[in-house]
């Protein structure tokens, strides 16, 4: 395994414009990274003399003009960064109680809401978004919360989801998947064209072990990655069966894992215990480790939407 150590965190550069991004027909080379108070994008097609990828975009709530001032501190610990609209927008959540939908070009928050211990989110049909609200002492968490994107900070509905950590809208199957601490839950959208939509729970699928953490689709497959406390799994959405990942199956404390839909390269983040974050970004096929001393990396996502 090749290990590349960077002597210091990569310095931020200005936001990439459409002209500086790789053409659409080129393989995806950008990797979104979140953790602590920053979300940024690394371009692995633009390496420096030391082999480090260029930082082509960076976002901090503190610099966002469209967020209320009191709201900015709620992005102190970002924990999700999903790409949409061909990588031009990013859905960000923070365990410090926030979710926002960010325009990469302007840095504006197109939507924001206060969400207890938010850990993941996904866009839904009809301009809505579902957010996984995890453990919370105020007893306002442990649920999936749905919002309209055009109505900031006003919940539309919610469903109980213990220790909620993951949410995926499955366009092909027209299902919403929610990852709890102990199981996968399957929801159907009901009355979604009305002003009073509902989520109908169809099924509870027990996890092979507790501590459900990350859930993300595998490109062009019925599989989804699901990480738990001590293992990484592949879950087949058609057969409803779990199997251990062939290379990461026995790896513990994995915060995220996903595959580049163009190149097939896997990226993952494993916590550097006793911390819940990492100073490393790890890859498979080929195996590499990028070290970022002082980094607080929680999740990484290839900057191309996977359905």
Domain ranges of the chain: 2-21+28-302
Q: Which residue has the higher pLDDT, 50 or 186?
A: 186
Going by their DSSP bridges, the two strands 118-124 and 128-133 should be labelled as antiparallel
Average pLDDT over residues 19-36: 77
Per-residue b or e along 219-229, where b marks 16 or more CB atoms closer than 10 Å to that residue's CB: beeebbbbbbe
Strand order in the sheet with 241-244: 214-217, 223-227, 232-236, 241-244
pLDDT at 22: 45
Contact between 306 and 258 under an 8 Å Cβ cutoff? The reply is: yes
Please report the sign of the dihedral spanned by the C-alpha atoms of residue 23, residue 24, residue 30, residue 33: positive
pLDDT at 96: 97
Average pLDDT over residues 156-162: 97
pLDDT at 10: 35
Distance between CA atoms of 224 and 293, rounded to whole angstroms?
A: 31
Tokens of 11: 């310095």
The CATH label, of 2.130.10.10, 3.10.530.10, 2.40.70.10, 2.60.40.10, for the domain at 2-21+28-302 is 2.130.10.10
Q: What is the mean pLDDT of the chain?
A: 92
Report how far apart, in Å, the C-alpha atoms of 261 and of each of 1, 28, 302 are.
22, 8, 8
Contact between 54 and 42 under an 8 Å Cβ cutoff? The reply is: yes
DSSP 62: G
Q: Is the peptide bond before 286 cis (omega within 30 degrees of 0)?
A: yes
Of the pLDDT bands very low, low, confident and very high (cuts 50, 70, 90), residue 118 is very high
Contact between 116 and 141 under an 8 Å Cβ cutoff? The reply is: yes
Contacts of 145 (CB under 8 A, 6+ apart): 113, 115, 130, 131, 133, 155, 157, 158
Average pLDDT over residues 141-165: 96
| Residue in this structure with the two tokens 């929610």, named with its chain if needed | 178
Average pLDDT over residues 74-86: 97
Is 60 exceeded by the pLDDT of residue 23? no
pLDDT at 25: 66
Tokens of 273: 């215990």
Quick count: other Cβ atoms within 10 Å of Cβ 208?
14
Report how far apart, in Å, the C-alpha atoms of 242 and of each of 44, 251, 256 are.
32, 16, 17
pLDDT at 30: 97
Q: Which residue has the higher pLDDT, 21 or 305?
A: 305
| Residue in this structure with the two tokens 């030391």, named with its chain if needed | 50
Contact between 95 and 77 under an 8 Å Cβ cutoff? The reply is: yes
Report how far apart, in Å, the C-alpha atoms of 29 and of each of 147, 288, 293 are.
31, 15, 23
Which one, of 178, 139, 35, 40, lies nearest residue 93 by Cα? 35
Of the pLDDT bands very low, low, confident and very high (cuts 50, 70, 90), residue 48 is confident
pLDDT (tens digit per residue) in 210-263: 999 999 999 999 999 999 999 999 999 999 999 999 999 999 999 999 999 999
Average pLDDT over residues 31-47: 95
DSSP 115: -
Of the pLDDT bands very low, low, confident and very high (cuts 50, 70, 90), residue 110 is very high
């Amino acid at each position: 395994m090749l290990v590349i150590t960077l002597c210091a965190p990569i310095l931020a550069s200005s936001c990439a414009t459409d002209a500086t991004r790789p053409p659409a027909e080129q393989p995806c080379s950008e990797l979104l990274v979140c953790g602590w108070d920053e979300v940024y994008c690394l371009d692995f097609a633009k390496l420096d003399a030391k082999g480090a990828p260029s930082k082509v975009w960076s976002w901090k709530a503190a610099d966002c003009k469209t967020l209320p001032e009191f709201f900015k501190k709620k992005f102190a610990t970002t924990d999700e960064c999903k790409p949409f609209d061909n990588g031009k927008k990013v859905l960000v959540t923070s365990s410090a109680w926030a979710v926002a939908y960010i325009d990469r070009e302007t840095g504006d928050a197109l939507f924001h809401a206060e969400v207890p211990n938010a850990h993941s989110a996904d866009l839904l049909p009809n301009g809505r978004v579902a957010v996984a609200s995890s453990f919370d002492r105020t007893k306002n968490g442990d649920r999936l919360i749905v919002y309209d994107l055009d109505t900031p900070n006003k919940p539309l509905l919610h469903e109980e989801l213990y220790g909620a950590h993951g949410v995926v809208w499955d366009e092909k199957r027209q299902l919403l998947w929610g990852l709890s601490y102990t199981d996968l839950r399957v929801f159907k959208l009901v009355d979604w064209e009305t002003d009073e939509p509902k989520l109908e729970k169809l099924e509870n699928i027990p996890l092979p072990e507790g501590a459900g953490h990350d859930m993300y689709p595998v490109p062009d497959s019925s599989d989804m990655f699901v990480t738990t406390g001590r293992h990484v799994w592949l879950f087949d959405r058609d057969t409803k069966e779990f199997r251990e990942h062939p290379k990461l199956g026995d790896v513990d404390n994995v915060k995220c894992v996903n595959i580049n839909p163009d190149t097939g390269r896997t990226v993952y983040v494993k916590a550097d215990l006793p911390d819940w974050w990492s100073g490393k970004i790890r890859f498979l096929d080929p195996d590499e480790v990028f070290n970022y001393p002082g980094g607080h990396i929680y999740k990484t996502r290839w900057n191309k939407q996977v359905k």
